């Protein structure tokens, strides 16, 4: 039997968790503290999984139905609806160094700030600038320093 908004709104807390099933997949889990959570059990790659949509009233009955439909479409396409593809932005060394320089420029002597940026652009950015900050190792930094030292300069 399909849930109605009235059933969801007036679901009362009990001594133990209980579920109010909505036909076709999602259910409302009502906790002893009175909180209400939209969830859906599904199977993917021969494993039973549990997908959580959010809390009621943040997500209404209609929105939970839409989330269920999206999950069913993902399953139909062979994707796990519980896995969200999150693309982390690439933090390059140059982008982070320039942001750091912008943040510090007000507290630095203008001549020193200009020299610092020139040295970064001349020595560091060619070697490490386009690399992901999380992928740079101490060996990479040492190799960059050795190139500068070979030119007869010191860092």
Domains of the chain: 5-76 (3.30.160.390), 93-150 (no CATH)
- In the numeric block, which tokens belong to residue 80? 């796990």
pTM of the prediction? 0.50
Answer yes or no: are the C-beta atoms of 54 and 18 closer than 8 Å.
Answer: no
- 92-143 per-position pLDDT tens digit: 999 999 999 998 888 989 999 999 999 999 999 999 999 888 889 999 999 9
- In the numeric block, which tokens belong to residue 138? 């101490």
**In what side-by-side order are the strands of the sheet with 26-30?**
18-21, 26-30, 36-44, 47-56
Q: List Cβ neighbours of 1 (8 Å cut-off, separation of 6 or more).
A: 21, 23
Please, which pLDDT band fits residue 85 given cuts at 50, 70 and 90?
low
């Amino acid at each position: 039997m399909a849930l109605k908004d009235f059933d969801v709104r007036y679901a009362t807390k009990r001594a133990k968790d209980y579920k109010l099933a909505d036909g076709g997949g999602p259910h409302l889990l009502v906790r002893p503290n009175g909180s209400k959570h939209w969830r859906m059990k599904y199977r993917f790659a021969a494993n039973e999984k549990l997908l959580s949509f959010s809390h009621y009233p943040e997500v209404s009955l209609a929105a939970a139905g839409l989330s269920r439909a999206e999950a069913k479409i993902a399953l139909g396409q062979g994707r796990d609806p519980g896995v969200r593809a999150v693309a982390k932005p690439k933090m390059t060394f140059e982008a982070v160094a320039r942001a750091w320089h912008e943040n510090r420029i007000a507290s630095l002597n203008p001549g020193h700030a200009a020299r610092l940026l020139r040295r970064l652009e001349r020595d560091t950015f060619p070697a490490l600038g386009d690399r992901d900050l999380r992928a740079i190792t101490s060996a990479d930094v040492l190799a960059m320093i050795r190139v500068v030292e070979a030119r007869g300069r010191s860092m």
